[in-house]
Amino acid sequence: MSTIAGKTAKCFISLNFLFVHFILAEDNFKMDEGLELTLSASEPDILSLSNIDVDHLGRVWACEVVNYGPNQGKRPKGDKVIIMEDKDGDGKMDSYDTFYQGPEVNAAMGLCVLSDRVIVSVTPNIWVFFDDDDDGRADRKELLFSGDGRPVFDHSYHSLVYGPDGKMYWNFGNTGKNLKTDKGQILEDIHGRRVEDKGKPFWGGMVFRCDLDGKNLEILGHNFRNNYEVTVDSFGSLWQSDNDDDGNRATRINFIMEGGNFGYLDEMTGEGWRKKRSGMHKDVSLAHWHLNDPGVVPNVLQTGAGAPTGITVYEGRLLPQKYWNQLIHCESGVNVVRAYPVRDHGAGYQADSIEMMKSLKDRSFRPVDVAVAPDGSIFISDWYDPIIGGLAQRDISRGRLYRIAPKGSRYEQPKLGYGSAKESVNSLKNPNYCVRYRAWNALHKMGSEAEKELMKMFLSKNPRHRARALWVMGKNHGRSAHYVDLASQDKDPDIRIIALRLARQTGTSLISLIGKMVSDPSAKVRRECAVSLAHLRGPEKSKLWASLAMNHEAGDRWSLEALGIAASGDWDSCLSSWLEKVGDNWNSDSGKDIIWRSRAKGTAHLIAKILKDPKTLEEDRARYFRALDFQSKAEKEAVLLDILQ
């Protein structure tokens, strides 16, 4: 009896401690209005969590990282990928199962769960695990990508995410180095460019798109420092954060304009941002990204000091309306989870910042990743450590998982099906990536049989739902041209943008399409027209480029950089067509923008005219001198001599 009584007392004390622990953990945070926080899981059930994902059943998957930095080898059997499940709907996890444990997942920094496969990023490898008998345990694995990226480091390979186009998107930071074939050769993307951080053309971190099996890889952007994770919205737009050189208060949010250089290192020399240059910004946070240089895509938002990590697009409807369709982002360095409401700005975007969840006192709160559940609530993984990143980890005994939802919201899964077109279309509307993956593939397999239900979705009022339906229909064999044409005439500029993106992916004639859209009233549609010209050649391209350049509005850096991406490798013919079209009016404010950005032969001569023009403001001269650094050495020297004389 005394033994039983003793065990009961210990159990009561343990439960009481756990209850107090939960209350204290939740009370430590300041939550935005209308949001309720639930501590879903904690030690001793879980340890340090890095990346998470939520599957179509609402189960939360996580990389549990112990073998990181100074603690490598502390868990001899290897780190884990775990599955957590809330069985009674109270938002707290009731079961914890190990999907896989082994050295292959030590210090994993990426996780993507797609119902029939689990993709884990563990530099220098990206593994795909399969559960063939559906028992919650990995039965086999395949290597998706490999290379020379620095292992056990935050700047290397990161999570993959499933896009609305049936493609996979992902990135690596500036220690990712390269990707290789299974024979050890440097991999080339579909445009014949080596996936390698060596400059000319690519520096630092990169963003990729590929098929589910890793084929048809494309480099979409480069020159990041530590772009921890990329996310994709229903229109196919990509968003990510990037970490600065520590201590410079220059972390940022980026929209990935395809083909863009994002300015961490000097494009021409590979020098760091501290290297003195003409026109260098006095503000360190702007100089940090070479934003004074022609050829650098602007930032959506500068977010100050921190250590940015996981990001997602919230396309659910459970959270308050101000969060609908916005970026949700973990900032582990300053102990906060933020939302970034994005708005149009010229041909690009700007964003504001909202603090959703902020630690008041406990600086060990380190939010690393965010994932959207099928019910529309979100989960946050907490590495929980006094310090973050940089191969440092002091506390391997704790870890947290939080759920954010409206007050009083239970964690209940919506009814979802994939057997019929109607069921699958309903599932395609869900905010969870894994649910949409299953729905997309079910509908794609049905082909034309699903078209009727998909068209109902396309004719609805929700632009995000319309976009998802369009992607599926546009990828149906033999129907791409029809849906590209339909989308190109839509009233919504975001749908018209999909027409161009869909055409690029499906081989639909871009020249004729851009010809119809070159004078679109939306600056961001014209931006996408320009980006779509990047890999085309010939006189028709040059004429279209010139027309787009004629519509460029002075001071719109997004528009200017899109034109630069379009003309890359083809500047001479593009600029010549524009000069023929613009005539003597090239010296307007918008025209001088284009000259500043140009890399064509003869550009230096035009820059010299601007510099010698008495109307050129003194404060603008450094900008044009900097532009000369991007011209040929001989032309630059000739121009400088001419100016001196």
Residue 358 is predicted with a pLDDT of 97
97 with 87: CB under 8 angstroms?
Answer: no
**Torsion sign across C-alpha atoms 455, 457, 462, 463:** negative
Q: With DSSP H G I counted as helix, E B as strand and the rest as coil, what are the percentages for the chain, rounded to 5?
A: 35, 25, 45
Amino acid occupying residue 41: A
Return the pLDDT at 24.
Answer: 53
Tell me the two tokens of residue 566. Answer: 């379009």
Among 409, 331, 335, which Cα is nearest to 34's?
409
Cβ–Cβ under 8 Å, residues 65 and 50: yes
The answer to whether the beta carbons of residues 141 and 93 sit under 8 Å apart is no
CB-CB contact of 401 with 93 (8 Å): yes
Are β-strands 326-331 and 301-304 bridged in parallel, bridged antiparallel, or unpaired? Answer: unpaired
With 0.85 as the threshold, say if the pTM is over it. Answer: yes
| CB-count burial class (<10 Å; 0-12, 13-18, 19+) for 287 | buried
Cα(210)–Cα(112) distance, integer angstroms: 14
Question: For residue 403, what are its two tokens?
Answer: 């759920």
For the record, the structure tokens of 348 come out as 């690009």
Q: Which amino acid belongs to residue 308?
A: P
Domains of the chain: 32-406 (2.120.10.30), 417-508 (1.25.10)
Q: Cα 101 to chain center, whole Å? A: 28
Report the candidate in 322, 394, 331, 389 with the shortest Cα–Cα distance to residue 357. Answer: 331
Task: Give the span between the Cα atoms of 544 and 524, in whole angstroms.
Answer: 16
Q: Directed axis angle between helix 463-474 and helix 451-458, to 10°? A: 150
Sign (positive or negative) of CA dihedral 416, 419, 423, 429: positive
Distance (Å, rounded) from C-alpha 556 to C-alpha 523? 9
Give Cα 559 distance to the centre of its chain. 20
Tally of residues, the chain: 645
pLDDT along the chain (645 residues), means of 10: 36 41 70 97 96 98 95 95 98 98 97 97 97 96 96 94 98 97 93 95 97 98 97 98 93 98 97 94 95 98 96 98 98 97 98 97 95 98 90 92 97 97 98 98 97 98 98 96 98 98 95 97 98 96 98 98 97 98 94 98 96 92 96 93 84
Lookup: tokens for 179: 């990707």
Residues 243 and 331: their CA atoms lie apart, in Å, by 10
SS3 label, residue 147 = coil
**Residues 6+ away with beta carbon under 8 Å from 10:** none
| Per-residue pLDDT at 195 | 98
